[in-house]
Amino acid sequence: MKRRKETKIIVSLILIFIIILMSLFLITKSKNFKFQDDLIFFKIFSQFNMSKAKEESEKTNQYNIKVSKQKRVYQEINLMQTINTKNLINEKIEPGTNGDFEIVLTSNQDLKYQIGFISKNVKPKNLQFYISETGEKYSTLENLQEELKGEIIKNQTIKIRIFWEWKYEVDPKEDEQDTKDGKNIKEYNFEIYTIGK
């Protein structure tokens, strides 16, 4: 009888031990699955953030330039990066598209500055530029640059927003030119430069 009681206790202990081991195994296994799920989630989230950051860097419309004395500082711009995506149809600049970009000037000394542009390829004839302060439209960036000069104080930040637009079907005489330019151009590239004096 005593032996039978001891056997029951031993069997019970073994069963309890097995149940505890199985529970630990199941908990560990479920945590690993959750951990793997978490890893997959974070991988997807990380890839999403990386692609979003890449997209934002590709579609930037702010260009920071430090003005230096008697030194030209250049920065290249693809107008496609500054396009208003609401108007984007064929992933190219064409009649009916518009956009804007901002030039941010800083300097570590008091200077007079001049902003200039150099076109890298042929601009569509009816693509125009303007700054919001005057609203006057310019047929080229080189014409607009006459407006973009002034004084900058040490540690000051000056922001200049330039808008562009290629209006659609404004004048029947220009429609043929727009069609021709629209076929021949996918993007318009230019350089911004500053001179400090």
Q: What digits encode the pLDDT tens for the residues 94-136? A: 888 889 999 999 999 999 999 999 999 888 888 999 987 777 8
Residue bearing the bigger pLDDT, 7 or 27: 7
pLDDT tens per residue across span 161-183: 999 998 877 777 777 788 888 78
The pTM of the full predicted model, rounded to 2 decimals, is 0.64
Please report which confidence band the pLDDT of residue 39 belongs to, taking 50, 70 and 90 as the band edges: very low
Whether the CA torsion 59, 181, 74, 140 is positive or negative: it is negative
- Amino acid 55: pLDDT: 45
Q: Do 175 and 140 reside in the same domain of the chain?
A: yes
- CATH number for the domain that contains residue 92: 2.60.120
Q: How many CB atoms lie within 10 A of CB 103?
A: 19
Q: Do 79 and 134 reside in the same domain of the chain?
A: yes
Q: Do 137 and 76 reside in the same domain of the chain?
A: yes
Q: For the chain, what is the domain count?
A: 2
Contact by Cβ (8 Å): 168, 91: no
Q: Do 26 and 115 reside in the same domain of the chain?
A: no
Tokens of 89: 């149809």
Domain span at residue 140 reads 61-196
Q: Do 175 and 127 reside in the same domain of the chain?
A: yes
pLDDT tens per residue across span 57-80: 344 588 898 898 877 878 888 888
pLDDT tens per residue across span 179-193: 888 787 878 899 998
Residues 6+ apart with CB under 8 A from 130: 136, 137, 138, 144, 162, 163, 164
Q: Do 35 and 66 reside in the same domain of the chain?
A: no
- Amino acid 159: pLDDT: 93
CA distances 113 to 163, 171, 197, Å, are 20, 38, 6
Q: Do 151 and 178 reside in the same domain of the chain?
A: yes
Q: Do 145 and 186 reside in the same domain of the chain?
A: yes
DSSP 193: E
Domain boundary, last residue among 58, 76, 93: 58
